[in-house]
Structure 1
Amino acid sequence: MLFNVFRHSMDDDMKTNNVIQNRMMIRSRLKVFSLTLLGIFTMLLASPSFASDPSGSSTPNAAILLYHHVSSSTPASTSVSPEAFKSHMEYLDKHHNVVSLQDVVEAIQHNTSLPENAVAITFDDGYANILDNAHPILADLGFPYTVFINPDEIGVGPKQLTWEQVIAMHNDGVVFANHTLDHLHMLNGEQVMGERDWLEKVWQNVESAEKKIEDKLDINLKYLAYPFGEYSTALANKLKTEGYVGFGQHSGAVGPYSDMQALPRFPAAGPYANLVTLKTKLNSLAMPVTYSSHENPRMTTRKLSSPISLTIDSDDVRLTQVNCFFAGDPIKTHVEGNVLRFSLSETLPVGRSRVNCTAPSNTQTGRYYWYSTPFFVADENGNYPD
């Protein structure tokens, strides 16, 4: 909240005592007025209603970046070259505040503030090139970061970190968290096995991975990054019941309205490694969606039976200029009050897809609210492609 006190100019050539006294009186009244406004401003900052306003500066907001490989010789779709990665980090160093993933999670959970333009850095899969090519850059800049690993792949899978390297990195301040034991498709077999048996099977995998990480590193964060970003409502509810925080691979900033069992992350490798487009994502704001009619990202059909509605709780979101995209193409939207609706006539592909919606901020020039709605479609055998 900003305020300015405007005064009428005075004639400095007037020398009478009465004018001097008038000036002193005006200054005194202005000082009292300013202090009063300052007190009101302070009370507003402390009030819950101000803290929960997504346009308020005290509201936590952050972008979480997702990387896999930092290498020029690994699959292009999940890789960023060491040179491009360095340029990303140098840009963050100049324009953003890099914070730990734990700081982001705790700020959202407790609705406490984060530094302006906060960004957290994450990696999935525990590849050795993270240590070889990314760690020296991150350590030199003093940036915290988190690596989601598959314990049964460490020291075994091709081009994976070893446990000795993981322990050394952990001792150097790197945080490691759960990505399941063996990078399975967590939704495979859900519709064939039945929800109860399927959920029991995948949850044993999650708990076993968490236990192995705890045994090796003496940490128990209960953070789970879904392999391939795939999850269902049943799986997210299980995470919530067990006290886990979940991370997806759909895009968007995170804030107080974000789903703690499906926090979005911006992919920053492959086709998304371009720093020009990444800058907009780094500056994005978490869309304050309080309700979505899209009940389950795990789809049982390849067509949406009805439009998806999003209820948005903020006057700062300029819904008159909202845009939604599917597979890179704009789709039709309808706005009524604070409800945004979109529909898809296209057939959803087998695997992973999403609709991204953005809208400009009314108060923060050049910044956009961002929200992603993911869809996961199995093949005819109930499995998901890599």
Structure 2
Amino acid sequence: MLLIRLLWWVVLLLTTANSTLLGQMNREVVGFVYHRVGDSRYPSTNISTESFDAHLNYLKQNDFKVLTISEAVDYLRKPGERERVAVITIDDGYESFYKNGLPLLKKYGFPATVFINTETVGGSSYMDWKQLEDCLGNKIEIGNHSHSHAYFLNEAPPARYETFRSDVEKAQALITERLGITPKAFAYPYGEFDPKMAELLQEMGFSAGLAQNSGVMHGGGNLFSLPRFPMASGFSPLEKFISKANMQALKVIAEKPESFLMIANDPSPTLQVTFAQSNLMESQLQCFVQGGSCVLEKKMSGDKIEVTVKPGSALRSRRTLYTLTIKDTDGHWHWFSHLWVNPALK
């Protein structure tokens, strides 16, 4: 009888663990990254106030739960029902957000997360500490975006990691001193990082690291490589925002390499990914290489799809996205992207 009870408890525990894991895996968050709001001097990083208002109105009218990034991470970590969840993030702390973006967030009652690089606080076109303090009182989470906003990958290891840690800790200390808070979320400058930098963030007590490769966050993903959809310039029209807001995650089981850092002397890097087929339509798989053409190879392996992606020609930009999208049998599109960084280029 005792043995039967023990076996029953083991089965119950395993069932509960699997249920919890599945509950987490099922949860997704769509994240958006903005920079300037209503500042037409910089079109590549700006969104008009009209477009930003339209984005927020769509989220409101379609019953999205809008969270800060820290709240979203808590949501992803816990099992439970899947909801329509969105995160609004703003990088760099430009004053145009305070003047033009914050009033719109207040209008809709939405929170957001602003990532600041502390060296520029109070400088030309940037928010000062008083404005940032006011943001805190209006549902805005302040995140760490480093002190110097440097190209950390330009420095070779091990100096890269010493510089990175020192810079992030300096920003953290300044934010704590001036605002009385300790940020838990970090956004990599330019979206550039390597696996060791992500490890350092965990050691420093951060709960999340945000990149700039596009895609949808999900409970089974890496919390220190969270994707976000850019929403400036040509990406800001409402129809494109709606498409991204309704996108689902393409949940990759294996990714090789995991690092964004290009290997020296390899201008045409190969990416290999594997994902479960589930209800995905293999015939609807699409591949895009930013600024060029894509060479795609795919094969079925049991209930998995194995994909190899190569560029049609050598990559010529410092940062290049490889993107995969696929449609499922319910008509939903799923998205995954991998960012390549070549530190040898500016």
TM-score bucket (shorter structure)? 0.7 to 0.9
1:227 — aligned with what?
Answer: 189
3-state SS in 1 of match to 2:319:
strand
How many pairs are equivalent?
A: 327
Q: Which runs of 5+ in 2 are unaligned?
A: 1-11
Residues 302 and 349, structure 1, Cα contact 8 Å, conserved in 2: no
Matches within 5 A, 1:355-366: 355-362=322-329, 365-366=330-331
- How many Å apart are 1:52 and its aligned residue? 4.0
- How many Å apart are 1:335 and its aligned residue? 2.7
2:70 — aligned with what?
Answer: 102
Residues 67 and 85, structure 2, Cα contact 8 Å, conserved in 1: yes
Q: Distance in 1 between the 2:38 and 2:54 partners?
A: 14
Question: Which amino acid letter does the alignment assign opposite residue 101 of structure 1?
Answer: I
- How many Å apart are 1:229 and its aligned residue? 0.8
Matches within 5 A, 1:61-72: 61-72=28-39
Q: Distance in 1 between the 2:183 and 2:333 partners?
A: 31
2:343 — aligned with what?
Answer: 378
Residues 268 and 311, structure 2, Cα contact 8 Å, conserved in 1: no
The structure carrying a bigger strand percent of its residues is 2
Is 1:197 the equivalent of 2:162?
Answer: no
1:336 — aligned with what?
Answer: 300
Residues 303 and 348, structure 1, Cα contact 8 Å, conserved in 2: no
Relative to 1, partners in 2 of residues 1:346 and 1:94: Cα closer, same or farther, differing over 3 Å? same
Q: Distance in 2 between the 1:111 and 1:347 partners?
A: 43
- How many Å apart are 1:287 and its aligned residue? 1.7
Q: Distance in 2 between the 1:343 and 1:262 partners?
A: 22
3-state SS in 2 of match to 1:148:
strand
3-state SS in 1 of match to 2:173:
helix
Residues 68 and 140, structure 2, Cα contact 8 Å, conserved in 1: no
- How many Å apart are 1:212 and its aligned residue? 1.1
Question: Which amino acid letter does the alignment assign opposite residue 350 of structure 1?
Answer: S
Residues 271 and 309, structure 2, Cα contact 8 Å, conserved in 1: yes
- How many Å apart are 1:58 and its aligned residue? 8.0
TM-score, length-scaled by structure 1:
0.79
Q: Distance in 2 between the 1:356 and 1:163 partners?
A: 38
Relative to 1, partners in 2 of residues 1:111 and 1:356: Cα closer, same or farther, differing over 3 Å? farther
1:216 — aligned with what?
Answer: 178
- How many Å apart are 1:372 and its aligned residue? 0.6
- How many Å apart are 1:262 and its aligned residue? 1.0
Is 1:147 the equivalent of 2:114?
Answer: yes
Residues 71 and 81, structure 1, Cα contact 8 Å, conserved in 2: yes
- How many Å apart are 1:152 and its aligned residue? 1.8
Q: Distance in 1 between the 2:202 and 2:247 partners?
A: 26
Relative to 1, partners in 2 of residues 1:205 and 1:131: Cα closer, same or farther, differing over 3 Å? same
Task: Report percent identity of matched pairs.
Answer: 26
- How many Å apart are 1:51 and its aligned residue? 5.0
CA RMSD, Structure 1 to Structure 2 (Å)? 2.2
- How many Å apart are 1:250 and its aligned residue? 0.8
Is 1:257 the equivalent of 2:257?
Answer: no
- How many Å apart are 1:319 and its aligned residue? 3.0
- How many Å apart are 1:136 and its aligned residue? 0.9
TM-score, length-scaled by structure 2:
0.87
Relative to 1, partners in 2 of residues 1:92 and 1:302: Cα closer, same or farther, differing over 3 Å? farther
- How many Å apart are 1:361 and its aligned residue? 2.6
Q: Distance in 2 between the 1:173 and 1:132 partners?
A: 16
The CA deviation string for residues 238-262 of structure 1, in whole angstroms up to 9 with x for no partner, is 2233332210111000002221111
Relative to 1, partners in 2 of residues 1:284 and 1:307: Cα closer, same or farther, differing over 3 Å? same
Q: Distance in 1 between the 2:227 and 2:270 partners?
A: 22
Relative to 1, partners in 2 of residues 1:50 and 1:343: Cα closer, same or farther, differing over 3 Å? farther
Q: Distance in 1 between the 2:56 and 2:87 partners?
A: 11
3-state SS in 1 of match to 2:158:
helix
The CA deviation string for residues 140-195 of structure 1, in whole angstroms up to 9 with x for no partner, is 11101010001121112x111111111111122211110001211121222xxxx1
Matches within 5 A, 1:114-153: 114-115=82-83, 117-153=84-120
Question: Which amino acid letter does the alignment assign opposite residue 279 of structure 2?
Answer: D
- How many Å apart are 1:266 and its aligned residue? 0.4
1:179 — aligned with what?
Answer: 145
Higher CA-based Rg: 1
Question: Which amino acid letter does the alignment assign opposite residue 128 of structure 1?
Answer: E
Relative to 1, partners in 2 of residues 1:243 and 1:113: Cα closer, same or farther, differing over 3 Å? farther
Residues 333 and 342, structure 1, Cα contact 8 Å, conserved in 2: yes
Residues 292 and 308, structure 1, Cα contact 8 Å, conserved in 2: yes
Q: Distance in 2 between the 1:368 and 1:50 partners?
A: 25
Q: Distance in 1 between the 2:102 and 2:268 partners?
A: 47
Q: Distance in 2 between the 1:201 and 1:66 partners?
A: 26
Which piece of structure 1 moves more, 365-374 or 136-145?
A: 365-374
The CA deviation string for residues 191-225 of structure 1, in whole angstroms up to 9 with x for no partner, is xxxx1122101110001111111222222233110
2:5 — aligned with what?
Answer: none
Q: Distance in 2 between the 1:187 and 1:111 partners?
A: 36
